[in-house]
Amino acid sequence: MKASAHDGSVTLDALVRRFAALDGRAPDARSPGMALRGDHDLNPDMAVKSVLCPAAVLVPIVARTPSPTVLFTLRTANLAHHAGQISFPGGHMEADDTRPEEAALRETEEEVGLHRRHIRVIGRLDRYVTRTGFDVTPVIGLVTPPFAIAPDPTEVADVFEVPLGFLLDPANHQRHSRTLEGVTRHYYAMRWHDHYIWGATAGMLMNLHEFLRRAPAGADHIARAGLSPRAPDAT
């Protein structure tokens, strides 16, 4: 766990403004070639499956004082997909889900017991495709405390929060690799105490970081977005 003088600090008001400016679009919706992110970002030889399962997750940003946090779940070891991994609440879209937002809120209620009345949806990130064949829409939601949770013990082993500033701080962004099905795959990772956040979840957090950093050149614009300016690279 590291700290940086040029961390990823961002205010909730700035976060709301950035997503409001998209008017309901994903960050790269006007660039179709970039609108589909995923595990293939770091693995250009990875073919995206021709048939994908639509899914949605909630990226729950909790309005804690003095600094916001992000809520995660630890999946139980018996699940068919991504067992034992840290993830956002979510799952595949069902026939009654008219929009990804509905699926994300429904799954959050089912998995975590966090009622949607505590959640304000402010936008989406780019769709994220996993190597296992899921086409995931990350939905950004602001969660207002106090709230109660009642995790489903068949799906969720633990629920915990990590400071948003830590997750957006480049000092805490790592790239790791491991062999999966005989092939070396690269992925992003972040470690918070004993929690190892990696794979698709870390990839979506990196997309959030990139979106908040993506702006016309100039420290003034970055400051208006509520972000700490990045120091020049050492030479």
> What tokens were used for 99?
């929009």
Whole-structure pTM value = 0.84
Whether residue 206 is contained in a domain is answered as: yes
Number of domains in the chain: 1
Nearest CA-CA partner of 2 in 222, 224, 165: 165
> What's the CA gap between 124 and 13, in Å, rounded?
16
* Coil vs helix vs strand at 16: helix
Query: What is the torsional sign of CA 150, 151, 157, 163?
Result: negative
| Nearest one of 111, 115, 89 to 100, comparing CA atoms | 89
CA distance 82 to 181: 15
User: Residue 218: inside a domain, yes or no?
Assistant: yes
| pLDDT (tens place) for every residue of the chain, 235 residues total | 444 434 567 889 999 999 999 887 888 755 544 457 899 989 988 888 888 999 999 999 999 999 999 999 998 877 656 667 899 999 999 999 999 999 999 999 999 999 999 999 999 999 999 988 999 999 999 999 999 999 999 999 999 999 999 999 999 999 999 998 888 999 999 999 999 999 999 999 999 999 998 753 333 433 444 444 333 333 2
Q: Kindly report the CATH number assigned to the domain that includes residue 57.
A: 3.90.79.10
Pairwise CA distance, residues 8 & 171, whole Å: 9
**Contacts (Cβ under 8 Å, ≥6 apart) of 7:** 165, 166, 168, 169, 171, 228
Residue 89 sits in which domain range?
12-224
Nearest to 69 by CA among 160, 189, 194, 200: 160
Flag whether 52 is in a domain. Answer: yes
Enter the tokens of residue 221: 């614009």
pLDDT at position 181 is 80
Residue 5, domain member (yes or no):
no
